[in-house]
Amino acid sequence: MRLSRYFLPILKENPKEAEIVSHRLMLRAGMIRQETAGIYAWLPLGLRVLNKVTGIIREEQNRAGAVELLMPTIQPADLWRESGRYDAYGKEMLRITDRHEREMLFGPTNEEMITEIFRGYVRSYKDLPLNLYHIQWKFRDEIRPRFGTMRSREFLMKDAYSFDLDKEGARHAYNAMFTAYLRTFARMGLKAVPMKADTGPIGGDLSHEFIILADTGESAVFCHSDYLSFDTPAADTDFGDRAGLQQLVDRWTSLYAATEEMHDEAGFAAVPEDRRLAARGIEVGHIFYFGTKYSEPMNAVVAGPDGQLRPVHMGSYGIGPSRLVAALIEANHDEAGIIWPDAVAPFNVAILDLKAGDSATAAACEDLYRQLSARGLDVLLDDRDERAGGKFATADLIGAPWQILVGPKGLANGQVELKRRATGERELVSPADAVARICG
Amino acid sequence: MRLSRYFLPILKENPKEAEIVSHRLMLRAGMIRQETAGIYAWLPLGLRVLNKVTGIIREEQNRAGAVELLMPTIQPADLWRESGRYDAYGKEMLRITDRHEREMLFGPTNEEMITEIFRGYVRSYKDLPLNLYHIQWKFRDEIRPRFGTMRSREFLMKDAYSFDLDKEGARHAYNAMFTAYLRTFARMGLKAVPMKADTGPIGGDLSHEFIILADTGESAVFCHSDYLSFDTPAADTDFGDRAGLQQLVDRWTSLYAATEEMHDEAGFAAVPEDRRLAARGIEVGHIFYFGTKYSEPMNAVVAGPDGQLRPVHMGSYGIGPSRLVAALIEANHDEAGIIWPDAVAPFNVAILDLKAGDSATAAACEDLYRQLSARGLDVLLDDRDERAGGKFATADLIGAPWQILVGPKGLANGQVELKRRATGERELVSPADAVARICG
């Protein structure tokens, strides 16, 4: 993308309304714009990151055997009356009346709707196990939305729903999602620790939150520091291997880990003192097993091998990509701006033409742009008529992992400057070596 | 995808509520499920097609220089008061009140919001031209939603908005989208004819609808038949070439073409008799130039080269992907089911294991599945424990362009049957030749 033809509205001033660093940087870097309280437009740079994040989530959901569909945002109220949650949900649910006075709502989650879809088609245990997910905008009418996309009203959620004949099957489905989540966050360069959690309004008796550590995190967390050095489950993990997955989950739940809500001083005291980690954390995923909580009242039943009908055992599994973008920034930034992990960077490389109007730098930049783009990288070429200082600041703010600085003096010696955003390291190399270093 | 692990709920009966063939086939093929009047869930097969359609739209928007962002579904009512459309829009607008009694709405279109975003950042003619688009769910509270996703209440729309300093610039932006639309529909295997259109509630004085011809189309259309043999604009069209694009658009608007609404008997009578085409059509795209209709009341102004502030000239450009999926089926089906054009097929190839439980057919199917998947094709392997007849019917219904029928007898002779869905032609070939034919 040539910046002269892009829409990247950088803010020079720090926006006053932003209380946390990710909100501030997302506004300054032209990633989002607030349209009204807790409702944001994703500007081109922000949308690129959101798409990278959902792309990784999707790949790992598919790998674990979940199948993608897409449910609508608007739901009929009657569905929620069947589960008993219509009245229980309270004011966070955005209730809507259509032109025919029918009661509807903007979905805050989809347990009811997916159960309705399931019961509409599935009759036999032979069609199980089944795990269906979608990535769709949700609405929760927070009384005081804040922190940008970290706690917004309209937000994107990946929610998966598993259906099994019995509790053992459901436990396996839970373990598969647990494993997929570990891989998902690790691929984004995040250290996520699973912590036992309250089930809240979703219900059920088994639940974990996935928490990433960040100094600016929303809540205190306490865990055994060994979690931070655990290996991520491999890409070729056999998701059909029940015992293998159980072993993996057992290991990842064997040590102490708790959010403030669930914290137990005595349990934490039992951790060797040099392994006690008290830190700040951000919740980026939440998984639930809730058995027949929805299938029973909504009559989602299948015939077992014995011909008897029984309600299916279900779980649900959520990640908020729009919140995750903010969490990624909380975990990856410095004074100058964002430092994107490679896998979620909106652009892998920023090429800076340090002397707009110079035909030699322009030609060298175009050549680098073509070569890197041809190798499948997302490249931003700053070809604006702007001073070098402004280009440095923009590149640091938007946080592409690599920068190539192309100036007339260096170029006269056949060199460009290659800069790593994370460390600030710079080195003079030939354009060909810059490409080789980035792609190598 | 192995069908045994997929979610493809085929209906054996013809659904009574479906009045048109695309609605019937989308329900029968397990592509969609109605959740309430005019609101659908996209089941996995349907979502695959929807994603192929939006993928092509996105590529052609980007090629024409439009930049993608993503606006929220919920909008504040005040924005629409600024343009004067809040009261004018009527009951089709889904109006919502939040917990703080703030008036909001589920966006039926985004002229107001994009104008608000534009005016928040852009100050100078130097930042123009600009064309911003998004692909997002919209809501129009149709009094009588019907025809499935052809006329639903919650529907997906790609809407682009162009901003230019003057009318000439805006006309070029219009021509670029006109050209992009011709390419978009042609890539989906559709013959789309641009027809002069009413501007309706969007406003403005220049507008074209893109109409595809289908026997089961919603309305009568009349045009010169030469349009059907016009060449599609090339992939390397120079979208910066004002004169070139104007010439292209002039040619595509030089002959008679009108929907029933705009039909003029005298104009049509002037078409040579053997070139008069009276047919049925479906609107799949609509583009508008409306000048300063929104920029003036909403004060979206930029400084020109002379330093004077002036309201920008705008246009908007819509395609409904969820409607387009239905239109594609109206144009591509037979008695047995859907016949997908290659570019939008949910699966390029269906492999049918005609004897479940036979280790030789299973191995041959797996081998074909691996080879074709490795070449980047989307492959569905029907590995269910079901009779061959049921598998034939399913494959024809869901309409993959290629089928490979793998039975024990043929396999004993080293052969499988390769079937082209569109023509029904079958031939016996070796598995290697089947792969070569499909990929060649």
Task: Read off the pLDDT of residues A330-365 as tens digits, 9 standing for 90 and up.
Answer: 999 999 999 999 999 999 999 999 999 999 999 999
**What does pLDDT average to over chain B?**
96
Q: State the virtual CA torsion across A21, B120, A156, B346 in degrees, nearest 10.
A: -130
pLDDT of A22: 97
Query: Among the ranges B12-16, B215-219, B309-313, which has the highest mean pLDDT value?
Result: B309-313
Percent of chain A at pLDDT exceeding 70: 99
CA distance B107 to B122: 23
- Return the number of other C-beta atoms located less than 10 Å from residue A238's C-beta: 9
Percent of the residues in chain B that have a pLDDT greater than 70, as a whole number: 99
- The interface residues of chain B toward chain A in range 375-434, judged by CB-CB distance below 8 A, are none
Burial category of B336 from C-beta neighbours within 10 Å (exposed 0-12, middle 13-18, buried 19 and up): middle
Under the banding of pLDDT at 50, 70 and 90, the label for residue A202 is low
Residue A38 Ramachandran class (φ > 0 left, ψ -120 to 50 alpha, else beta): left
pLDDT of residue B203: 66
Q: Domain B347-439 is of which CATH architecture? A: 3-Layer(aba) Sandwich (3.40)
Q: How far is C-alpha A234 from the geometric centre of its chain's CA atoms?
A: 20
Check residue A205 and give its pLDDT: 72
Percent of the residues in chain B that have a pLDDT greater than 90, as a whole number: 93
Q: Does residue A377 register a pLDDT over 70?
A: yes
Q: Are strands B313-319 and B192-196 parallel, antiparallel or unpaired?
A: unpaired
Greatest CA separation for chain A? 81
Q: How far is CA B48 from the centre of its chain?
A: 13
pLDDT higher than 70, residue A203: no
Give pLDDT, residue B198: 76
Task: Write down the pLDDT at residue A197.
Answer: 82
pLDDT given for residue B137 in this prediction: 98
- Token couple for A311: 């309600």
A12 CB near a chain B CB, below 8 Å?
A: no
- The mean pLDDT of A63-70, rounded to a whole number, is 98
Q: Are the CB atoms for A221 and A258 separated by under 8 Å?
A: yes
The mean pLDDT value for A73-101 works out to: 96
Residue A269 touches chain B, beta carbons under 8 Å: no
CA distances from B268 to B217, B243, B258 (A): 20, 29, 9
Q: How far is CA B225 from CA B191, B220, B261, B263, in A?
A: 11, 15, 19, 16
Q: Give the model confidence (pLDDT) of B266-302 as tens digits.
A: 999 999 999 999 999 999 999 999 999 999 999 999 9
With beta carbons under 8 A apart, name residues in chain A contacting B46.
69
Question: Burial of A379 by CB count in 10 Å (0-12 exposed, 13-18 middle, 19+ buried)?
Answer: buried
Are B117 and A43 inside 8 Å of each other by CB?
yes
DSSP code per residue over A163-228:
EESSHHHHHHHHHHHHHHHHHHHHHTT--EEEEE---GGG--SEEEEEEEE-TT-SEEEEEEGGGG
| Average pLDDT over every residue of A161-181 | 98
**C-beta of residue B404 within 8 angstroms of C-beta of residue B352:** yes
Cα(A151)–Cα(A20) distance, rounded to whole angstroms? 11
Please enumerate in sequence order all residues whose Cβ is within 8 A of that of B188, keeping only pairs 6 or more positions apart, or say none: B53, B56, B324, B328, B341, B343, B344
Strand partners, A139: A154
A interface mutation test: which of B4, B5, B34, B67 has the most A CBs within 10 A? B67
The tokens describing B346, both together, are 């949910």
Contact call for A7 and B130, based on CB within 8 A = yes
Question: pLDDT grade, residue B216 (50/70/90)?
Answer: confident
Pairing mode of beta strands B379-382, B349-353: parallel
- Min Cα–Cα distance to chain B from A37, Å: 9
Angstroms from B244 CA to nearest CA on chain A: 20
The torsion angles phi and psi of B305, rounded to 5 degrees, stand at -60, -25
The structure tokens listed for A55 are 């792309």
pLDDT above 70: residue B176: yes
* Per-residue confidence (pLDDT) for residue A218, from 0 to 100: 83
Q: Do B47 and A40 touch (CB under 8 A)?
A: no
Q: Mean pLDDT across the stretch A368-395? A: 97
User: Chain A window 62-101: which residues touch B at a Cβ cutoff of 8 Å?
Assistant: 65, 67-76, 79, 91-92, 94, 96, 98-99
Residue partners of B112: CB distance under 8 A and separation at least 6:
B75, B79, B80, B82, B83, B85, B294, B298
Mutate to test the interface with B, among A4, A28, A67 (most CBs of B within 10 A): A67
Tell me how far apart the terminal alpha carbons of chain B are, to the nearest angstrom.
Answer: 22
CB contact under 8 A, A41 and B71: yes
Which residue of A45, A70, A81, A141 is the best one to mutate when testing the B interface, meaning the one whose CB has the most B CBs within 10 A? A70
Tokens 């289908």 sit at which residue? B214
Chain A touched by B6 (CB under 8 Å): yes
Give the mean pLDDT of chain A: 96
**pLDDT per residue over A260-271, tens digit each?**
989 999 999 999
Tell me whether strands B67-68 and B39-42 are parallel, antiparallel or unpaired: unpaired
Q: What is d(CA B309, CA B329) in angstroms, rounded to the nearest whole number?
A: 49
User: Cβ atoms within 10 A of the Cβ of A399, count?
Assistant: 27
Q: What is the DSSP string of B134-196?
A: EEEEEE---SS-BTGGGB-SEEEEEEEEEEESSHHHHHHHHHHHHHHHHHHHHHTT--EEEEE
Residues B76, A35: C-beta atoms closer than 8 Å:
yes
Residue of A44, A132, A154 lying closest to B74 (CB–CB): A154
Q: Where in chain B is the domain with CATH 3.40.50.800?
A: 347-439
Nearest CA in chain B to A112: B35
* pLDDT for residue A317: 98
> Is residue B421 very low, low, confident or very high in pLDDT (cuts 50, 70, 90)?
very high
Q: Which residues, at least 6 apart from A267, have a Cβ–Cβ distance to it below 8 Å?
A: A256, A258
Phi-psi map region of A311: left, alpha, beta (phi>0 left; psi -120 to 50 alpha): beta
Which amino acid, residue A23?
Answer: H
Q: Phi then psi for B329, rounded to 5 degrees?
A: -70, -40
Residue B209, SS3 per DSSP? strand
Which of B74, B130, B132 lies closest to A39 in CB terms?
B74
What is the identity of the amino acid at A153?
Answer: R
Question: Is B200 a residue whose pLDDT tops 80?
Answer: no
Residue range A174-194: mean pLDDT, rounded:
97
Distance, CA of B123 to CA of B102 (rounded, Å): 30
CA B216 to chain centre: 17
Distance from CA of B275 to the nearest CA of A (A): 43
* A159 within 8 A of A248, measured Cβ to Cβ: no
Whether pLDDT at A41 is above 90: yes
Contact yes or no for A9 and B121 at CB 8 A: yes
Closest residue to A68, CB basis, from B35, B47, B104: B47
A9 close to B (CB below 8 A) = yes
Note whether B184 and B178 are within 8 A (CB).
Answer: no
Given a cut of 70, whether residue B202 has pLDDT beyond it is: no
Mutate to test the interface with A, among B96, B114, B302, B378 (most CBs of A within 10 A): B96
Contact (Cβ atoms closer than 8 angstroms) between residue B287 and residue B170: no
CATH number of A3-338: 3.30.930.10
C-beta atoms surrounding A202 within 10 Å:
19
What does the pLDDT look like over A226-270, one tens digit per residue? Answer: 999 999 999 999 999 999 999 999 999 999 999 998 999 999 999
Q: What is the mean pLDDT of residues B422-429?
A: 97
Does residue A431 have a cis peptide bond before it, meaning omega lies within 30 degrees of 0? no
Stretch (H or E) spanning A21: helix A21-28
- Nearest alpha carbon to residue A227 among A194, A263, A273, A260: A194
Contact B338, B187 (CB under 8 A): no
Q: How many other CB atoms are found less than 10 A from the CB of residue B314? A: 25
Nearest CA in chain B to A136: B137
On whether the CB atoms of residues B356 and B386 are closer than 8 A, the answer is: yes
Q: Give the HSE-up count for residue A152: Cα atoms under 13 Å, Cβ half-sphere.
A: 30
CB spacing of A72 vs B141 below 8 angstroms: no
Greatest alpha-carbon pair distance for chain B in Å reads: 81
Angstrom CA distances, A368 to A116, A345, B58, B63, stand at 53, 19, 25, 20
Closest CA to B259 of B281, B274, B286: B281
Using CA coordinates, name the residue in chain A closest to B68: A44
- Any chain B CB within 8 A of the CB of A121? yes
Return the ∠ at Cα B315 (arms to B310 and B320), rounded to 5°: 155
Residue B422: strand, helix, or coil: coil
ipTM: 0.97
Of chain A, the percentage scoring pLDDT greater than 90 comes to 93
Q: Which residues of A touch B40 (CB under 8 A)?
A: 72
Residues of chain B with CATH 3.30.930.10: 3-338
Q: Which residues contact B97 (CB under 8 A, 6 or more apart)?
A: B103, B104
